[in-house]
Structure 1
Amino acid sequence: MAASANIHAKGYEKLKAHGAMLLFAILIAGSFSLGGLAAGVMPSAAINAIRYVIGTAVMGLFGLFVLRVEIRVPAAFWRFVILGMLMAVYMFTMFKALEFTSPVSTGAVFTLMPLMSAGFALVFLGQKTRPPVLASLILAAAGAVWVIFRGNIDAILSFDVGRGELIYFIGVICHAAYAPLLRKFNRGESAFTFGFWGVACTGVILLIPGVPAIAESGITNLPLIAWVAIFYLAIATTAITFMLLQYASMRLPASKVLAYGYLTPTFIIMVEGMIGHGWVSASVFAGAAVTALGLVVMALLPD
């Protein structure tokens, strides 16, 4: 009886973890539309630095006054430095790559992340990805590529690996290693403690390129929409998404955690359509359906 209750409890925790990553993908999708507005009026290095400073402050205040926890520097602090470096490199290379290539091309490179994360999970955690799960990941990736290239076969076939793609590939490697390391490095800390120090270390590292950019950008003259975008990036896609990623990574294999990123292009399409920027063709929506199908199959398969 107790064993049955334990199985049901674990199943419920995994269901919540899948829900957390679904919310993760939705929040990330919203950041593209708002982030594009901020990027038009200030350098990306400044945006990243400010969003992480604000995100760290918000998380700290939430922990102190809502959760009523004492914020202490945890033991083996090097764990958070490594995680911060990995995420900082990812953020920096993502924006840097866009100086040389298009969002479509970076999106194509992104589809490698869950599969690479499965490889890192095998190395760091000994997690083996079952063939059916791997097949569902490939199916979801194919649907995501179709959506990213707007169903244009010629665009897919003409994809060229250039400087921007190689820069972003370095960031993708770092992010792919990040998810399994969240589980490996956790020593029983709460999701808040682990999330707070991970975000804080990322912010400190991003201040290195960010401070000069902030000094040159004249942030006091930014329009209101830019601050709305920055606060959304700071709270929704920095503080909240880190907590969601931390929660899910402790309950799901790394390959399943990052696979939800495949839904991001679909959610971006929906957000852009709802705010009046136009809708895509039926064939692109078909690709989105394939991605969703692949992720549903993946979620239902045993870990």
Structure 2
Amino acid sequence: MLLFSALVAGSFSLGVRSANLIDPAAITAARFVLAAGVIGGVILAMRPAPTGQPMSAPWRNVLLGAVFSAYFVLMFEGLKTAPAVSAAAVFTLTPVMSAFFGWLLMRQRMTLRMAMALTLGGIGALWVIFRGDLAAMARLEFGRGEAVYLLGCTFHALYTPLVRKLDRGENAAVFTLGTLTAGAVLLTIWGWGAIRATDWANLPAIVWVTLIYVAVFASAATLVLVQYATLRLPAAKVMAYTYLTPAWVIALEALLGQSLPGAIILPGIAATVAALALLLRD
């Protein structure tokens, strides 16, 4: 999950730079197709071949594919207007929502320390989103992009415990392939108009860089990582690593030549890191 948080950060920085250059449904459909191809190739290369029941109850893959697809479409829609750091801060609200869905679906109980950590992390994320403006925070004033992405993060938070709820012992890579394939089919049907309207041959280079990155690293790899971790950790603890994402994004934006955000957001970053430390204690 530490690797997951770093890989996800790259999708924010690249997504901000390409979100307005291609329709969200088109790029998300393409990323699912490419990611499914990557995972399929990995499975074929594995020796011995993974075991399990990949075709058992395929409706599970359809449901998970729909949930994960909704997250990525809403993410790119939100990144049209939301800054990368703010979007990453919104993403850190997923542990709170994931804890709720974990209780709803799996009756996973929360300790007092975990509740304190999630509250601290949520406050830190809100501090970053509202850039330390307490008045705006009190009025819940934030941009359309952040609002759209917050809805998307609800689907991501639901995905984590849903994987555990629906798991029947399949190999993580095999089950991930089923989820990505189902998502690719659903997105192709739903976004066919946008896919046909996209001038794929003349897309800017940054769009192709983003597409390859999100397909290989922020889709195929992270989906396997979440699948693996979800079967071994409580849902809230899995998503706790997202608290590191804003810090990764700030560092990456600095490497890409962007100015560092003002010191006003540092208390929020510190709060999310402290929340992570609390959640990871045994």
When normalised by structure 2's length, the TM-score is 0.88
Partner Cα separation in structure 1 for residue 132 and residue 141 of structure 2: 17
Task: Give secondary structure in 2 for the equivalent of 1:188.
Answer: coil
Q: 1:93 is matched with which residue: 56, 74, 90?
A: 74
238, 244, 259: which one pairs with 2:240?
259
Given the superposition, is the C-alpha separation of residues 164 and 229 from structure 1 closer, same or farther in structure 2, using an over 3 Å criterion?
closer
Distance 1:36 1:207 in 2: 23
What secondary structure does 1:151 align onto?
Answer: coil
Q: Which of 1 and 2 has greater Rg?
A: 1
- Match for residue 54 of structure 1? 34
Overall identity of the aligned pairs, in %: 41
1:250 deviates by: 0.8
Q: Report how far residue 98 of structure 1 moved.
A: 5.4
* Structure 2 residue corresponding to 1:37, chosen from 3, 10, 17: 17
| Deviation of 1:157 (Å) | 3.0
User: In terms of mean alpha carbon deviation, does 230-239 or 171-180 score higher?
Assistant: 171-180
* CA pair 193-86 structure 1, distance change in 2 beyond 3 A: same
- Residue 191 of structure 1, aligned match among 172, 186, 189: 172
Match of 1:144?
125
- Cα gap change, 1:67/1:44 in structure 2, threshold over 3 Å: closer, same or farther? farther
Q: CA deviation at 1:291?
A: 1.0
Could you tell me which residue of structure 2 aligns to residue 79 of structure 1?
A: 60
Deviates more, 1:143-152 or 1:90-99: 90-99
| Contact 1:38/1:230 (8 A) holds in 2 | no
Q: Distance in 2 between matches of 1:197 and 1:95?
A: 23
Task: Map 1:94-109 to 2 at 5 A.
Answer: 94-97=75-78, 102-103=82-83
Do the aligned residues in 2 keep the contact of 1:105 with 1:159 (CA within 8 Å)? no
How far apart, CA to CA, are the structure 2 residues paired with 1:231 and 1:23? 18
Equivalent residue for 1:232? 213
Whether 1:114 and 2:95 are equivalent positions in the alignment is: yes
Determine if contact 1:108/1:145 at 8 Å carries over to the other structure: yes
Q: 1:40 to 1:255 in 2, by over 3 A?
A: same
CA displacement at 1:203 relative to structure 2 = 1.7
- How much does 1:95 deviate? 3.3
Determine helix, strand or coil for the equivalent of 1:160: coil
Q: 1:65 maps to what in 2? A: 45
- RMSD of aligned alpha carbons: 2.5
After TM superposition, the structure 1 = structure 2 runs for residues 100-249 of structure 1, keeping only pairs within 5 Å, are 102-103=82-83, 110-160=91-141, 168-249=149-230
Letter of the structure 2 residue corresponding to residue 36 of structure 1: V
Alpha-carbon spacing, 1:162–1:151, altered in 2? closer, same or farther (3 Å): closer
- The aligned residue for residue 261 of structure 2 is 280
Q: What does the per-residue CA deviation read over 1:38-77, in whole Å, with 9 as the maximum and x for residues that have no partner?
A: 3232222111111111111111111102455269742111
Q: Is the 8 A contact 1:111 1:145 kept in 2?
A: no
CA distance in 2, matches of 1:207, 1:97: 20
Q: Is 1:23 equivalent to 2:41 in the alignment?
A: no
Where does the alignment leave 5 or more consecutive residues of structure 1 unmatched?
A: 1-20
Taking the aligned partners of 2:139 and 2:247, their CA distance within structure 1 comes to 22
Q: TM-score, normalised by structure 1?
A: 0.83
